[in-house]
Structure 1
Amino acid sequence: MNRYESTGHLLLTPVDREAPARAVRLRELGLGERPDPELDAFAARVARRLDAPYAGVNFVGGERQFFAGLHHAPQAPASAYPARVLARDHGYCPHVAVRRSALVLEDVRDFARFAGNAVVDESGVRSYLGAPLTDRRGIVLGTVCAVDVVPRRWGTAGLATVKELASELVALFHAREDRRP
């Protein structure tokens, strides 16, 4: 059973008991503290594969989220989204991390828990697709996600694609780790 804490929004942010272990693991891997050009390129690939205006590689901390990889299409509507750093109660990636499973929201306004999220009101986010990045130790490091400002039918193909991309990205993290002295 998930426990949730009130954040002052309609959204209830899940309690993240794995955050301390995740922080240690991210430090070990050198992830989550600065923009990473390779992860920016990966986010652009996610956006292309899913035909989405926004995509990211996000690492969820105890108090904030950091998009080490971020992409927005040049023709995407101007807004405060995407930002490299978001509060933990903004967006949907913290839910993916705690649930340890993918999340598909074709229209976030269809779900009371998600409709009142600040990214809806402040940034115009209307749909979300994200999958966890689970490393070889079983720790969810963060998420790979795609976002749109209009409702989207991601479908089973979109879900399969985001999971496949998450798997590829975790393999990249493992290869980086294996090359370290």
Structure 2
Amino acid sequence: MSYDPPRPSGRLLLTPEDKDAPARVRRLRRLGLGERAEPVFDAFAARLAEVAAAPYSKVTFIGEEQQFFAGLHTPDRGGLAAGGATTEDGDARPVGRRMGREYGFCPHVVVRRKALVLEDVRDYPRFAGNPLVDEIGVRSYLGAPLIDSTGIALGTICVEDVEPRPWGKAGLETIKSMAAELAGQLERREGDPGF
């Protein structure tokens, strides 16, 4: 995979090419995923954050142009994200449910189709310039793909921290195990619209 030429903003386009995006979008629509937040996914993200002792966690579904956080856990203070994301006045910014594919690390996990461990994102040139590093303050990331029985990587689950973090083998095994658990739940969703 190579870097694209610099964008007018001076940043490199670091988002990997995603040839599976059209099939993924069709599958997500069939499962009714990727358009709305659901309490079951927020609860899963909260449990993931607790297990990993991380301030941020997400259940992310990846479309052709954007990511959707169907499950989101942040260290909230009245709906505002604590740490990292701030306005020009220094106030905390809300963390939204949608983000472009050029942000973050989850699009890389989906294209790679395997877990990604970044103990300090600044140690990796490909990721050090990602907007989440500067704008939100993410310093470490651990994510795994949600691959269903059709073989499509629908999205990811991930945890993030604002400090460098040695996730270790235990962290990697945990994120992979929890991704498999959620992928199994998504499979049951197809036969049970009330999931």
TM-score, normalised with respect to structure 1? 0.93
Alpha-carbon offset, residue 63 of structure 1: 0.9
Of 7, 13, 16, 2:15 maps to 13
Change (3 A) 1:175 1:14: same
Give the unaligned 5+ runs of structure 2: 86-92
User: What's the CA shift for 1:178?
Assistant: 2.3
Identity %: 57
Partner of 2:125: 112
Distance change (3 Å), C-alpha of 1:78 and 1:25? same
Q: Secondary structure at the match of 2:133?
A: helix
Offset from partner CA, 1:38-74 (integer Å, 9 cap, x none): 0000000110010000000001111110000000124
Q: For residues 14-56 of structure 1, give each alpha carbon's deviation from its aligned partner in whole angstroms, at most 9, with x where no partner exists.
A: 0000000000000000000111110000000110010000000
SS at match of 1:12: coil
* Residues 64 and 86 in structure 1, CA contact (< 8 A), matched pair in contact too: yes
Runs of 4+ in 1 over 6 A off after TM superposition: none
Ranked by relative contact order (alpha carbons within 8 Å, sequence separation 6 or more), the top structure is 1
Tell me the secondary structure at the aligned position of residue 122 of structure 2.
Answer: helix
- The residue type equivalent to 1:117 in the other structure is N
Q: Hey, what does 1:162 align to over in structure 2?
A: 175
The amino acid across from 1:100 in the alignment is: R
Q: In the alignment, what sits opposite 1:121?
A: 134
CA RMSD, 1 decimal: 1.8
Secondary structure of the structure 2 residue equivalent to 1:15: coil
Instruction: Confirm whether residue 85 of structure 1 aligns to residue 87 of structure 2.
Output: no
Maintained 8 Å contact 2:45/2:57: yes
Q: C-alpha displacement at 1:77, in angstroms?
A: 1.9
- Which structure has the bigger radius of gyration? 2
Match of 1:69 in 2: 71
Cα distance in 2 for partners of 1:119, 1:78 equals: 9
SS in 1 for 2:25: helix
